[in-house]
Homo-oligomer: A and B are copies of this chain.
Amino acid sequence: MAVRVVGFDGDDTLWHSETRFHVTQAEFRELLARHAPGADIDTRLAEMEMKNLAIYGYGVKSFTLSMLETAIELTKSSIPATDLEVILGWGKRMLMEPTELLDGVEPTLRALSERYDMLLITKGDLFDQESKLARSGLGELFLGVEILSEKNVETYSRIFQRRGINAADFVMVGNSLRSDVVPVVSLGGHAVHIPYEVTWQHEHVPEEEMPKAGWSRITTIAELPALLDEL
């Protein structure tokens, strides 16, 4: 194929995200264990997030609201407001943290930007994603930014159509099999999977359900330029 356009996922592909949710969730577990000893806090929070996904969508604000609701439910409303204020503070901290790039991202993207049109194609909260991109210092490298509420066949095709992209010339790079690999391959594009150290359960796809061809896996973004040369 003749690679012309390269799409990049943001969270956990260019910058750390999931580890931050994990750090906050560990604090949440510790705080709640004092009020509800023995409760399976992680499971209850995960269930709450899934229940609320259709109402809130993805992102830190949604996560914060689900933590608050879980805390109130799990403690049968006995949790003091001071503790809920602590949870509100965690949400703000997550939204304000500096964008921490993954190893090798900046030099690799700078080099690639001279050879390909690059798009940031990310999912989640509009305001939070724009703010993270602004703080990343990578903004000028992208020809365009697409922030979607879901990454699926429908939303990718809309981007291809609007931007006049031929799927056969397009490569998507990301850490999620579900959001970055499967829909792009099924549209005829190529996908490059770069696993992150932690995967949100929601984004997991069993290996045997993955398409047989049309995608590659590398361990770090530094391997991407050589792979694109081979495609």
> Are A147 and B127 in contact, CB atoms less than 8 angstroms apart?
no
> Are A65 and B61 in contact, CB atoms less than 8 angstroms apart?
yes
Q: Which residue of B lies closest to A78 (CB)?
A: B81
Interface size on A, residues (CB 8 A): 37
Q: Which residue of B lies closest to A56 (CB)?
A: B61
In the assembly, what is the distance between CA of A55 and CA of B90, in Å? 12
Residue of A58, A79, A88, A144 contacting most chain B CB atoms (<10 Å): A88
Residue in B57, B65, B82 whose beta carbon sits within 8 Å of that of A126 in the complex:
B57
Q: Which residue of B lies closest to A162 (CB)?
A: B144
Which residues from chain B contact A56 at a C-beta distance below 8 Å? Answer: 61, 95, 127
Segment of A18-26, A67-75, A176-184, A199-207 in the binding face: A67-75
Chain A, interface SS category: helix
Contact with B along A31-68 (1 / 0, CB 8 A): 00000000000000000000010011110011011001
Q: Which residue of B lies closest to A89 (CB)?
A: B69
Chain B nearest CB from A122 CB (Å) reads: 11
In the assembly, what is the distance between CA of A88 and CA of B79, in Å? 15
Of the A-B pairs whose beta carbons lie under 8 Å apart in the complex, a sample of 22, sorted by A's number, is A52-B92, A56-B95, A57-B125, A61-B62, A64-B65, A65-B88, A65-B91, A68-B84, A69-B85, A69-B88, A71-B81, A72-B88, A77-B82, A78-B81, A79-B81, A80-B81, A81-B81, A84-B84, A126-B126, A126-B147, A126-B149, A130-B149
Query: Chain A interface (Cβ within 8 Å of chain B)?
Result: 52, 55-58, 61-62, 64-65, 68-69, 71-72, 75, 77-82, 84-85, 88, 91-92, 95-96, 125-128, 130, 144, 147-149, 162
